[in-house]
Chains A and B, each alone.
Chain A
Amino acid sequence: MPLRRVSRPEALRTMPESASSVATGIRATGESVSNTQETLAGEGTPAGWKGSASEAASNQFTKLSGDLDSAVAALSKAATAMDRYDDRLQRLYSRRQTLTEEVSSINGQIDAYDADVAASDPEDAEAQSALKARSKELERQADALQGRVDGWNADQDAADAAVISALQSVDTVAEGDDAAKNPNRPDAPELADRLKDKVDAGDPEAVATWWASLSPAEKQALMIHSPELVGNAGGIPTVDRDEANRTSMYSDIDYLGEREKDGQLTDLEEDQLENARGALKTLESYKDRIDPDTGENTAFLLVFRPDAFDGDGGIAMSLGNPDTADDVTSFVPGLTSESSSLSGNIKSMDRLMQLADGKNGDDTVAAIAWIDYDAPSSDDGMTDNPWDFVQVAGEGKATDGGERFAEFVDGMRASDQGSQAHFTAIGHSYGSTTVSHAATDNDLQVDDMVLIGSPGAGSADVATDLMDNGNVYVGSADYDPVSLLGGPGLGALGHDPSQDDFGAHRFEVDPGSYRVQDLMDNHSSYFNEDSTSLDAMADVVAGDQPDEVDGRVPGTYQPLSDLLAGTTIVSGGEQAWNGIEYTGGKVADGVEYTGGKVADGAGWAWDRAEDAGGWLGSLG
């Protein structure tokens, strides 16, 4: 009798991401209702309003507050049910992948068996006996596997039935009232106070332990009541932080979007709404990217503080789950970075992650763009010109940012699962000064450090001031003017870490274009596709050693003043030549045109020449 092939498991009808998305929507609605309920419960009627009308209004507010509390309780139960459903779906998803692999294998063995039977000699008793034994064993394995496939199909039905039942249990007003009066209902405000105390104590390990002790219902109640607290708390697992921060994000977009329609937004709220919409746009741009090992969405919102830093906002997003990844990197960008810069910076992380992932065998990678400090920005008068580093930036924001970054890394270390990840901090430009301060002032807990395009390494004199193990890697393009601000000697933001006597490992970077108008492009080239610098950073992230080049030694490279003068002369020559070409041989017109442009620029430029001269002078 021919052997029966094992049927494949049915397709999962609901993907975990869909359940997670619904849960986030329920939580965001719950947060909005919870906020309104607390406002009504706390404020009552205005002090100047007296009499029977005031009393009636106050009574109405109390009743409405109670009704809303029932709604919050119902939404909290619904979110818990959806979260549980999400967990079940993830397990089903994972089991399905395994079963598909096993079904493919056993059916392949049955195909091979059938072929061997067809080719066998029916008169060969010994061969027929062996085939019979093989058939029996295959049949036994196939039956067992078919049983597991059938079990999986039944489990999917059971998961669907369970979530439907749970949602139906809170879909009437009376059931909402019952949920609100349930003595076992989690006390969300009290839980929030306890979490805040632990966060303020600066002990993310304690946060992690406490969070793990909560029931699913308590976690959901807290995420509805205080998503911003949960989402930004170091030590809480990445998946939960992401869910809480998405809840805040949707709630902000909903609430502030309504205020926008009513023309009621303050300036800060306008920034907050813009930052929330920007975060959503960036997350949406990775909605079609999954972790191929787990099937979960690859983007995690680790920090969401859209109103921080006077509206610049604080944000951090990861590609890959840093709690489970083997190699984790966190990138700190530099000047003019703010919440709205997330999109470009996460793209840099995308390139780095993909390259590092190809270098570390079966290990996994997560790459974080961290923009949760008050980087010098246009609000401070910062433009994209190098002398703003000296005239505007100073080290204050790098010092403050370094403390915040070290705390963030401590939080990620506390939520790490399994063996501790290999962690690399990368700082670009002013972000490199910030990372340096995180190390010298705040005991940054990383294994490797990369500083690129650095204007100075803060208070560090040598690499071992940053990392005891000396694992400091530096990338500095020869024609990156910002990387020349720190030396030789001591720059306004500290030493140039690519100087030979600093003692860091300097890796090769494409020198860049020798034209003055391209100098800032050179400063922004470290994550370019196929660049030597990106490859070297991927080596470090993957735990390998990049190829080293010699550090800078005075007299063997162009200091900033020479670079600016040299590239200006080269570009000036190009301009004159372009002017001649532009006029198609009308040399006189070309000269007049070029001269006119220079004259226009010179009037304004002359006013700043003194500043620039002073700046050049300050470089020694």
Chain B
Amino acid sequence: MRRRGVVVVVMMIGSLFGCGASDSGGDEPAKAEQRADATRAAAKETFPLVGDAVKALTYTSGGSGRWAICGMEPSPSGAEYAAEVAVTQSDTAASEQAELIASALTSAGWKVDETTSEAVTASKGGLAFRARYGDGGINLSITSGCVDVSKDRIRALTDEPSEDLGLPQP
């Protein structure tokens, strides 16, 4: 009985410390780049469309993209690429924005999942779009969904600085 307990402890320690397949990172590294590319491309196409729809006058910047962890430390489960920009001024009243945004998304091939008084969410090709609006402006984001890569790769990706998407100002 004691012998069985020792074997279990040894196997447990071996597994926890790398003798098992504990950090396989199911998706190949190239998948992460593919998802980031798809997210960037969608952001560059969709954000200006939405901006035009609400008659945007100013954005926070040319937009930014970055990796963020899925799950949490000490054992994150993956990484997600997120592209964001905010419309800080527009010539459209806040009360009219939801309808205009949903319409622009539909015309660009997005499936609008939900429209509320605060936000519009939509999806396309595994990407998730979200616009959150109010009297002070509109946040726009597109996220890739979590990509299952190794923990070392997660940390490398999330260490990368934000990148400028280079969206044109209105």
Contact = CB atoms under 8 A, between A and B. Distances in A.
A164 interface: no
A359 to B, nearest CB: 11
B158 A289 contact: no
Contact of B15 (A100, A428, A571, A604): A571
Mostly helix, strand, loop or mixed at chain A's interface?
A: helix
B92 to A, nearest CB: 7
Interface residues of B, number: 64
B91 A601 contact: no
B93 A516 contact: no
A568 interface: yes
Contact of B89 (A96, A288, A294, A362): A96
B11 interface: yes
B72 A565 contact: no
B22 A613 contact: no
B9 A616 contact: yes
B73 A601 contact: no
Nearest to B20: A517
A100 B77 contact: no
Given A97-B135, A101-B94, A565-B8, 20 more contacts: A12-B58, A100-B91, A101-B95, A104-B96, A281-B161, A289-B86, A293-B135, A294-B136, A295-B88, A343-B69, A343-B158, A344-B76, A518-B22, A525-B72, A527-B72, A528-B77, A575-B21, A598-B14, A601-B14, A602-B14
Interface in A492-518: 515-518
A385 B95 contact: no
A515 B75 CA distance: 14
A96 to B, nearest CB: 7
Given A104-B92, A337-B73, A608 B13 contact: yes
Contacts of B61: 287-288
Counting from the closest, the 7 A-B pairs by CB-CB distance are: A517-B22, A295-B136, A292-B134, A104-B93, A601-B14, A384-B74, A524-B75
Interface of B: 5-6, 8-23, 57-58, 60-61, 63-64, 66, 68-77, 84-86, 88-96, 116-119, 130, 132-139, 146, 158, 161-162
Contacts of A151: none
A8 B89 CA distance: 12
Nearest to A386: B16
Given A285-B66, A290-B137, A571-B15, A524 B71 contact: yes
Contact of B86 (A288, A333, A520, A612): A288
Contact of A296 (B17, B116, B136): B136
A597 B76 contact: no
Contacts of B162: 281, 284-285, 287
Contacts of B134: 291-293
A363 to B, nearest CB: 11
Contacts of A347: 68-69
A285 B64 contact: yes
A11 interface: yes
A428 B10 contact: no
A292 B119 CA distance: 10
A8 B60 contact: no
Given A97-B94, A281-B161, A292-B133, A606 B73 contact: no
A578 B84 CA distance: 42
A292 B137 contact: yes
A339 B51 CA distance: 36
A516 B20 contact: yes
Contacts of A524: 71-77
Query: Quick one: which of B5, B15, B89, B161 has the most chain A CB within 10 A?
Result: B15
Nearest to B4: A565
A517 B15 contact: yes
A358 B119 contact: yes
B77 A613 contact: no
Contacts of B84: 288-289
Contacts of B10: 601-602, 605-606, 609
Nearest to B68: A347
Query: Which among B58, B94, B146 has the highest number of chain A CB atoms within 10 Å?
Result: B94
Contact of A575 (B9, B15, B16): B15
A105 interface: yes
A345 interface: yes
A613 B9 contact: yes
B69 to A, nearest CB: 5
A344 B76 CA distance: 9
A285 B15 CA distance: 36
A358 B5 CA distance: 49
